[in-house]
Structure formats: C-alpha cells, structure tokens
Amino acid sequence: MAEHLAMPKSWNTETKPHKFCPGCGHGLVLKVLGEVIDELEIQDRMVFGVDIGCSLLAWDFFNVDTVQTHHGRTNPVMVGIKRANPKLLPIAYMGDGGGYAIGSQHLVNSAFRNEKIMAIVVNNCNYGMTGGQMSPTTLPGQKTETSPYGRDAKETGNPTLGPEMVAAIASPGAYVARASVSNMKQLKRFMKKAVENQIAGNGFSFLEVISSCPTNWRTNAKQTWAFMEEEMAKYFKTGELRTPDESKEG
Amino acid sequence: MAEKPIQEEKRVFMTGNEVVAWAAVAAGADIMYGYPITPQNEIMHYWTRLAPKHGKKFLQTEDELSAGFTTLGGALAGRKSFSATAGPGTTLFQEPLSMAEMMRIPVVVIVQQRGGPSTATVIYSQQEVNMVTFGGNGEGWRVVYSTATHQELFDYTIKAFNTAWKYRFPTFILGDGYQAKMREPLVMYNPEDRGIEMIKPVASLGLPGTPGKDRDAVHLRNTYSVEEELYDATMPIQEDYEKMSKEVVEWDERNVDDADIIIISHGVVSRAAIAAMNRLREKGVKVGYFRPITLRPFPDEQLQKVAAKCSNFLLVESALGQLARLVKSALFNMPIDNFDTLYKPGVGVTAEELVQRIEKTIK
Amino acid sequence: MAILVKIAIAGEGGQGVQAIGDILAEAGNEEGKEALYIPNFGVEQRGGVSLAFVQISDEQIGSPKFQHGDIVIALSERAVARTKQYVTGDTLFVYDSSLIAPPEVADEAVGLQVYDSVAPEAQADAVSEQPKTGKVELPKNAKKVIGIPATDIALSELHPRVFNMIILGATVRAAGVVDIETVKHALETKLGKKFIDDPKLRELNFNALQRGIDLVEEALQGEENNDQKDV
C-alpha cells in the first residue's frame, strides 16, 4: 500500500514551496509523478526534461537530473539522451503548446519511430506562462488573449486530440493515455503504467493530463473545477488508448 | 470608403507593443501571423482586438518557422503581411527570412529584443543585432530600423511597410523589451493625413487570368543548379541593395563638429547617450553623439565623415560587441584615435553611468 | 537645467505597485509633460518584489530605468531591502511603517493589479515567501526618510482596498511634480465606470489619496519644525 506523503521523497524540498500559481494543476501532476518515482525507485536512472512555458518552473523540482530545453524541443533532447545512453529513463514534460504546436513535429516523429521515452503533456487549454494565448487545445468559444472573441472552430479548427493522434500512429509497445487532475487515483495508475512501460523498454509512452489554469482562465475555485470536469471533459476523454498488451482501461 | 483607423491626430500614452499594433493598422497592413513569445505578445493581443473592426486578419501559427513562412505566403498573395517575434523566435525566423532575401518577398517583422542566447531573459537586450542584420544563410539583404522612442515605433512601423513594398527586401523594426513594455506619449496619425502615400501591395501569385491562356504562369524558385547561375542571380540583388541603401539609410548625429569624444549607440540606449551628452555639455565637456537608425544599410559613409572630425569613440550597447562589429566594419582602414567600449549584455544603460564613465576617462 | 523626477515604487505583488506607477505617469502625461513608466518584470532579483519606475520631465526622458531615485517608495520589508540600491543623499525615502502582511487590494477599488506588461514567465520567484524577520534596515544615506502607517490607516480608518491610494497620494506629495487634480482625473479615466456604479468608491479613493498627501505633508513639516536627525 503506497504512502501518500505530503511531499514525495524524490521532491527537492529546498525548492518548496514551488513556483506555480495558486490553483495550478502542475503541482498535482508532479506530486503523482513524484510518488511513482519513489515507488518504482527510478531516481537514479531518470532524466527529467522540461519545456518552455510553465513546465520550466519544474526545472529544480525533483532530486532528479533535469534539463530545461527550448520550446517544443524537450522530446528530441530526451530522444538524444536515450539513444546515447539506453540505461537512462528520460521523461519529457511540457504543456499543450510545447506538445501540440511547436513540438508537434517531434511528438509525431517520436511516436512513429517508437522512441523508448516518455512524454507528459499537461493540457490547460492555453499558453499560460506568456499570458494566456490560444493553444491547440483551446475549446471552441473559449476566450483567450489571441481569441478575444472566442475561438472560432471554423477558422482555427477544433481542439487537438493529442493522445488520439499518437495512438493512431504509434507502434506496438506504446502506452498512450489521458488522465485528469480531477481523478488523482486514475492519474496515478496511468502514470505508473506509463513509466513501467519505459522500464520494460517496450516503446513510446505518452500521457496527457487535463489540468487547471485559474490565472489565465480567470476563474475562481469552483469555476476552475467546473471548466475541467464539465467543459474540457466534453472534448478530452480520459482513459487508456494504447497499452503494450492491448488491454485497455476506458 | 473604409473608415479611417485613426480619426484624427491624437496624443496617446501607451505601451510600445500597443503602438506597433496601431501603426500596423494605420499602415494598412492586412494580416498578421504570429506565435507567442515574450515580450512581444501584446502586439498580437491588440491586433486581434482591432482586427475585426478594421477588416484585418490574424493567424496564430504552430511556431515561428510557420509564422515566418505564412507571412511570406501572405506577401506572395499580394497582402501587406507582418509578424513579430523575439529571442529564440528570431532564431527560428532566420530560415523563412533567408527565403525572403533570395526571393525579394516584402515582409515586415517587428523584433522586440530580449536577453540571449537561448531562453535567457524575457526582459531586454540589444543582442539580436547579429541575427536581425545578418542572420540566415545569406548576405544580409535586409532593411533594419532600430527605434528608440514610441514615436519612432509608430513612424517607422508605417515606413517599414513602404520600404518593404517599394524595394522588396524583408524589413525589420528592431525594438526591445523595454520599448515593448514601457508607457510613454506619442502622436498617432493616419499616414495619408500627413501626405505619406502608402504603397499598394502587388501579388506575385494568384494574379487574375488563367496561366497559359491569359497570361504566363508565374514560376518562382530559390534554387539554382551551378555556381555561375547562382552568381548571375545574386549579383543583381546586391546591386539593387546598394542602390536602395542610398535612399533608405538613416542616422542621427549631434554636436560632432567640436566634439572631444563621441558616444556611439543605437536604439533605446541612444536616449541615455543623448541625456548623458546634454548633462556633460552643461558641465563643459565636449561630447558628441552618433546613432545609426538603419543598422542595415549601415550609415558607413556618414560615420566615416564623423570619424574624420573626431575619432575618440565610446561605443555603448546592451550586447557584447554586436553594434561594435558593424561600426568597425564601417570604419575599416580609417585612423581611429581611440575606440572605448561599454558592453552590458542584456542589461539597460542609464544616462548616469555614461556620465560617470566619461568623467572618469577625461580625468 | 531640465526638470527630471525619478520615482521608484516597490512592494509585494498585490499591493498595487504597478497601478500607482501607471496612474502617476498617466497624470504626468495629462499635464503635457514627458512621462515614462516601466514595470520591473523578471527574475533578475531574488524574491519577486514588484517594482515600478516612473520618470516625469519637461524634456525627452533618457533611459527607461535609472540608477538612483529622487523619490523611493517601499511598501514591505523586502521592498525596503530591494530598493536600497536606488537611494543616495538626494533621495526622499518613504516607507509603509506598518510593514505587516500585505493587505488585499481588490480590483474593484483600484483597477488592474495584474498588468499585461508583467510577464508571468518572470514570476518564477514571485510566489516564494521569505519569512518576516521584523527587522527592517532603513537606508542610512537618504536625504530624508519618512515612515507612514498606510496599512494601519487603511485597515482601521478607511478600507484595506485603498491602501495603494494612500501610497499614491503620498507619492504625489513627495514628488511634487504632478497636481493631485490631474491624478484624480487619471483615476476617473481608469476607473470611471466603477465610480459610476458605486459613487461611494470615488469618495473612498479620493479620501485615501488626500490622507496620503496629508501624511507626507505632516512628516515634512514636522522635520522642518524640529531639529530632527534622519531616522
């Protein structure tokens, strides 16, 4: 039975309290990841890569070797590390902009080539760090700084479905799932399976996590949860899309 | 008749990014392509809010490579298109800009410099001079205006569209994070109200008529087979560039005739240089000032003339010699008394420290 | 010799520092002066203190930032430490002598606290808290140091939400470079709609402004009447 410590052992206590905004989902995702690192004991083998955007605030978050890269380029840096030293377990951590916009080409190619790395995309439907611009996962009608009158799906498309895309092109051995910070038990299950897939060396592991950004959504606590659990849930379904043995949890 | 974006000349007090958005509207820009990166994001924010009211268009692309290439596409389609970027974004822009240089595509790009290299700071620097003047795998066939005030941001953004479409070289407004974020007054106006004629864009592709029937098809390329072919294609561009340079070059010089020391600077740092010069002159120190406004084409001849009068220079920039490189190239082979430098990479320069520095050297 | 007044305002995020700087510069501009306001954003400092730089002059202003301020306003322990570098023998230093936990300054009372000009990227240090030590080392080299209990007054006499209006009034009196009427006009321009919805708000804000002016006025006169050494 896993412990739920206030702070996972793999967390770097010197950099706590952390720098994320109040109400940000990153803290929850990183807590779950911290527990998984503890339970699977991968602190010494793991390399953590963070992107540009709010994910960069996690550059000194763990007692794990970490590199902050460029926007959208965390995947290829992790790929480079793994190919050079296959003993390491690289985990790339980025937002929906870094994953599905500027980093989309790298994400797609990592999936195609069945790279033995893990990528986590924290999806909060906007570019948070730079002040709340529209992102590939912004919902139709959602107001952002570059869609001030609401996203027009006819003009700019519907929200990107990242795990669905990766699931469609990934090779056998991949693990692809979507979770949400509003269901921490499921998030932990999926996070653990994704990392186990890495340890087994089966293929590409990909996990999108629905997350919150009250600062740029300009929502209070109640509205924040409502947006995630009601609005975002309309477009982004949680569940496993690909597992190495093809037994999926919906 | 479309409603004028600016009804009448008015003095306003706004941030530099907002000024750029308004200037682009006033210049008749049709479409902006962009990608988020600090400190230029607000140009997009203001443009997307102004756009529907003035019949303008916007696309946020997947990254800066795309923003650059979509901007090229807009210009090829005969629309005044522009983009804005900074830092790592400027680095990505070099690929599309190389294509613009080779193919003479008139795009306008506003660069709000931030610290470098890599992610560095989101705040300020003058460290993108190398990239903006000579980035890409080309010869720097670009026009670069380095602005210092909000009035200039407004005036030169408008001018950039005309320069680009008249001479067909990619044209830049080189600002910085301080200019982007600070608020100061300026006067906004419609260029037509001041007798400035805005050049109408012309399409390269998609012209009326059926190719092969009504007109020849347009076939554009940027590839050549052998060395001589390339040479024959590029030398005329160089000729055009040199011809254009004479008409486009701009600079500012003050108090050089009797100067004992001349401060060389560009962009926002030149404001500190002017303030320092004035303060020192009040104390009887004969300080002069030279500022290139166009970094490309660089005012070589004009600087040489100044150097002939006084060549005791203090060059100051918020970079490690990027302006100095352009200056030294301009002054090649001239006898120079003294070339002193104050390099503050990614850090602002105050008038006070310039005064202190010069007072120390004359002691 | 040109008139140039350099003002630096510093405080915790949420104390309304940027609003003060912005309205002050706006007022300068409305009086036809050259005015320049730039927020400080970035991780250049440890601690995430919010800084605003304002310059008001009768001729074009040089650099957006400056080495030493004519007026320096510090609203928290950390702000006092952070602004030491801007203080010289010519500086008038005003600080909030309450120096307790920063009060909430809500949008309705004083307008925008979060400026589109402050890059969140740069707030990487902003949220980390340093423990209050209760020890504040005021600058010893200033021309004059004035402590005004703005937080206490806001809490006990006026309303916590107009804390930064008290500070704004104090800054206006200390700088002596813009008229209070222009400042009120600038406030109307920014908050006009809110004042129409709730006229009591206007009264509250303007009272707070005046209170700030009076506090500095008293302190300056007190200095003149007594032969007091600098604190």
Domain shared by B142 and B41, yes or no: yes
Chain B segment 205-264 residues within 8 A of C by beta carbon are none
Is the Cβ pair B178, C122 closer than 8 Å? no
**Integer Cα distance of B109 and B71 in angstroms:** 9
Angle at B87 between CA B86 and CA B92, to 5 degrees: 90
Q: Is residue C220 part of a domain?
A: yes
CATH number at residue B311: 3.40.50.920
pLDDT the model gives residue C225: 65
Q: Does C41 touch chain B (CB under 8 A)?
A: yes
Domain shared by B69 and B180, yes or no: yes
Neighbours of B194 (CB within 10 A): 10
Q: Is residue C168 part of a domain?
A: yes
Lowest mean pLDDT among A95-99, A200-204, B52-56, C226-230: C226-230
ipTM for the whole complex: 0.89
DSSP string, B263-283: EE--TTHHHHHHHHHHHHHHT
Most confident of A175-184, A213-222, C49-58, C98-107: A175-184
Q: Is residue C80 part of a domain?
A: yes
Please check the confidence at residue B83 and state whether its pLDDT lies above 50. yes
User: What's the total number of domains in chain C?
Assistant: 1
Q: Which chains touch B (3 or more CB pairs under 8 A)?
A: A, C
Give the C-alpha distances (Å, rounded to integers) separating C130 from A35, B101, C76.
28, 52, 12
Interchain CB contacts (distance < 8 Å): A and C: 27
Binned at pLDDT 50, 70 and 90, residue B42 comes out as very high
Give the C-alpha distances (Å, rounded to integers) separating B8 from B11, B191, B234.
10, 11, 44
Chain C segment 74-133 residues within 8 A of A by beta carbon are 116, 119-121, 123-129
Binned at pLDDT 50, 70 and 90, residue C130 comes out as very low
Please check the confidence at residue C203 and state whether its pLDDT lies above 70. yes
Partners of residue C119 in chain A, C-beta under 8 Å: 130-131
Please check the confidence at residue A6 and state whether its pLDDT lies above 90. no
Is the Cβ pair B184, C1 closer than 8 Å? no
Task: Please list, residue by residue across C37-53, b when 16 or more beta carbons sit within 10 angstroms of its beta carbon and e when fewer do.
Answer: bbbbbbbeeeebbbbbb
Most confident of C51-55, C119-123, C194-198: C51-55
Mean predicted confidence (pLDDT) in A165-186? 97
SS3 C132: coil
Mean predicted confidence (pLDDT) in B109-126? 95
Most confident of B80-89, C160-169, C218-227: B80-89
Report the run of H or E that residue B137 belongs to, with start and end.
none
pLDDT the model gives residue C133: 57
Interchain CB contacts (distance < 8 Å): B and C: 86
Cβ-proximal residues to B251 (8 Å cutoff; 6+ apart), any chain: B290, B291, B292, B293, B294, B299, B302, B303
Partners of residue C121 in chain B, C-beta under 8 Å: 38, 122
Binned at pLDDT 50, 70 and 90, residue C107 comes out as very low
Closest Cα in chain C, distance from residue B229 (Å): 48
Please check the confidence at residue B155 and state whether its pLDDT lies above 50. yes
Q: Is residue B201 part of a domain?
A: no
Binned at pLDDT 50, 70 and 90, residue C132 comes out as low
Please check the confidence at residue B17 and state whether its pLDDT lies above 70. yes
Question: Which of C37, C39, C121 faces B38 most closely, judged by CB atoms?
Answer: C121
Instruction: Check: CB of residue B97 under 8 Å from CB of residue B83.
Output: no
Domain range for C160 = 4-225
Chain B segment 62-121 residues within 8 A of C by beta carbon are 121
Domain shared by B159 and B280, yes or no: no
Domain range for A102 = 40-242
Partners of residue C117 in chain A, C-beta under 8 Å: none
Q: Is residue A5 part of a domain?
A: no
For residue C47, the chain A residue with the least C-alpha distance is A19
Mean predicted confidence (pLDDT) in B69-96? 97
Positive or negative torsion for Cα C216, C220, C225, C227? positive
Cβ-proximal residues to A227 (8 Å cutoff; 6+ apart), any chain: A212, A217, A219
Q: How many CA atoms lie within 13 A of A19 on its CB side?
A: 24
Q: Is residue B38 part of a domain?
A: yes
**Integer Cα distance of C48 and C12 in angstroms:** 8
* Average pLDDT value over all residues in chain A: 94
* Average pLDDT value over all residues in chain B: 96
CATH number at residue B98: 3.40.50.970
Q: Rg of the Cα trace of chain C?
A: 16
Partners of residue A23 in chain C, C-beta under 8 Å: none
Please check the confidence at residue C217 and state whether its pLDDT lies above 50. yes
Q: Is residue B206 part of a domain?
A: no
Q: Is residue C230 part of a domain?
A: no
Please check the confidence at residue C111 and state whether its pLDDT lies above 50. no
Q: Does C68 touch chain B (CB under 8 A)?
A: yes
Q: Which of these three, B164, B194, B224, is where a domain ends?
A: B194
Partners of residue A17 in chain C, C-beta under 8 Å: 127-129
Closest Cα in chain A, distance from residue B147 (Å): 24
Q: Is residue B109 part of a domain?
A: yes
Q: Is residue C155 part of a domain?
A: yes
Q: Is residue B246 part of a domain?
A: no
Domain shared by B185 and B263, yes or no: no
Mean predicted confidence (pLDDT) in C182-194? 88
Question: Which of C123, C124, C128 faces A17 most closely, judged by CB atoms?
Answer: C128
Q: Is residue C92 part of a domain?
A: yes
Please check the confidence at residue B197 and state whether its pLDDT lies above 70. yes
Neighbours of A218 (CB within 10 A): 12
* Average pLDDT value over all residues in chain C: 80
Instruction: Check: CB of residue C73 under 8 Å from CB of residue C195.
Output: no
CATH number at residue C186: 3.40.920.10
pLDDT the model gives residue C223: 63
pLDDT tens-digit series, residues B307-335:
999 999 999 999 999 999 999 999 999 99
Please check the confidence at residue B336 and state whether its pLDDT lies above 50. yes
Closest Cα in chain C, distance from residue B282 (Å): 8
- Of C152, C153, C173, C126, the residue nearest C11 (C-alpha): C126
Token readout for B122 is 């989101």
Is the Cβ pair B13, C68 closer than 8 Å? no
Partners of residue B183 in chain C, C-beta under 8 Å: 22, 25-26, 35-38
Please check the confidence at residue C196 and state whether its pLDDT lies above 90. no
**Integer Cα distance of A48 and A42 in angstroms:** 11
Domain range for B322 = 252-362
Does the bond joining B39 to the residue before it have cis omega, within 30 degrees of 0? yes
Token readout for B98 is 């190389």
Q: Is residue B207 part of a domain?
A: no
Q: Is residue C231 part of a domain?
A: no
**Integer Cα distance of B71 and B315 in angstroms:** 35
CATH number at residue A139: 3.40.50.970
Please check the confidence at residue A61 and state whether its pLDDT lies above 80. yes
Binned at pLDDT 50, 70 and 90, residue C155 comes out as confident
Domain shared by B17 and B96, yes or no: yes
pLDDT the model gives residue C127: 34
**Integer Cα distance of B298 and B324 in angstroms:** 12
User: What's the total number of domains in chain A?
Assistant: 1
**Integer Cα distance of C151 and C170 in angstroms:** 13
Q: Is residue B36 part of a domain?
A: yes
- Of B220, B222, B249, the residue nearest B234 (C-alpha): B222
Chain B segment 129-168 residues within 8 A of A by beta carbon are none
Please check the confidence at residue C113 and state whether its pLDDT lies above 50. no
Q: Which chains touch A (3 or more CB pairs under 8 A)?
A: B, C
Residue B291 phi/psi, 5-degree rounding, is -135, 115
Domain shared by B190 and B256, yes or no: no
pLDDT tens-digit series, residues A105-136:
999 999 999 999 999 999 999 999 898 999 99
pLDDT the model gives residue A17: 82
Q: Is residue A23 part of a domain?
A: no
Q: Is residue B123 part of a domain?
A: yes
For residue B279, the chain C residue with the least C-alpha distance is C1
User: What's the total number of domains in chain B?
Assistant: 2
pLDDT tens-digit series, residues B241-267:
999 999 999 999 999 999 999 999 999
